[in-house]
Amino acid sequence: MATEKDKLLLLWKNFRDGNKEAFAAIYNLHVDLLYRYGTKLCNDENLVKDAIQDVFIDLYLKSSNSIPANLKYYLLLAIKRNILKKIKRERDINNEICESLFEPEYSIETIIIEKENRDEINGRLAKILKQLSHGQKEALYLRYNETLHYDEIAQIMNITVESARKQVYRALKTIREGFRGEGLILMVLIISNIYKTNKKIIF
């Protein structure tokens, strides 16, 4: 059975051979994750959409090159750089637009929907998540939603690998401490499903 990487390699080969539909397929496979990530970095949706367009135009123009080893990582890094560049140029770093850098909504209702204490747990989780720094939230997102390796997270966030590990560790520690005594099974569910891509995320 062909892996995701094999499928991307085939699409990229077909695109380099002149198949425009192959590039459209690459776009469709990644546009949603770039939009999700971009709108967590900045709440100006039009700016994010422009950045996505720029990233894919750049990718299109580089069709003669070989496909990046990890295309998802490459695109996430590219979208972050493009968004920050646009903010600096067009908004002169207007903090009203990007002050809430990485303030994602953590929707875990489906994990505990049948629990009688759902409201209490959700309320506690919301308070706990507010304790996390922007860096911890971003590192947690990249690690558990986009399943990136720590070296990739470090490059995207422009920090060391050790710092990336610490950001994730401290975030998880805060969540665990907040739910101490709730039982191991519930803890595993909460931590492992906060950022699953098949869960609804409210922007």
pLDDT tier for residue 202 given thresholds of 50, 70 and 90: very low
Residue 109 region by backbone torsions, left for phi larger than 0, else alpha for psi between -120 and 50, else beta: alpha
Q: Provide the whole-model pTM.
A: 0.62
**Total residue length of the chain:** 203
The HSE-up count of residue 172 (CA atoms within 13 Å, CB side) is 18
pLDDT digits (tens, 9 = 90+) for 149-177: 899 999 999 999 999 999 988 988 888 78
Instruction: Just give the CATH number of 4-97.
Output: 1.10.1740
Q: Where exactly are the structural domains of the chain?
A: 4-97, 109-193
pLDDT digits (tens, 9 = 90+) for 72-116: 888 999 999 999 888 887 665 554 445 455 655 444 444 443 444
Asked if residues 174 and 131 have their Cβ atoms less than 8 Å apart, the reply is yes
Instruction: Just give the CATH number of 109-193.
Output: 1.10.10.10
Q: How far apart are CA 150 and CA 160, in angstroms?
A: 9
Write out the DSSP string of 41-74. H-S-HHHHHHHHHHHHHHHHHTTTSPPPSSHHHH
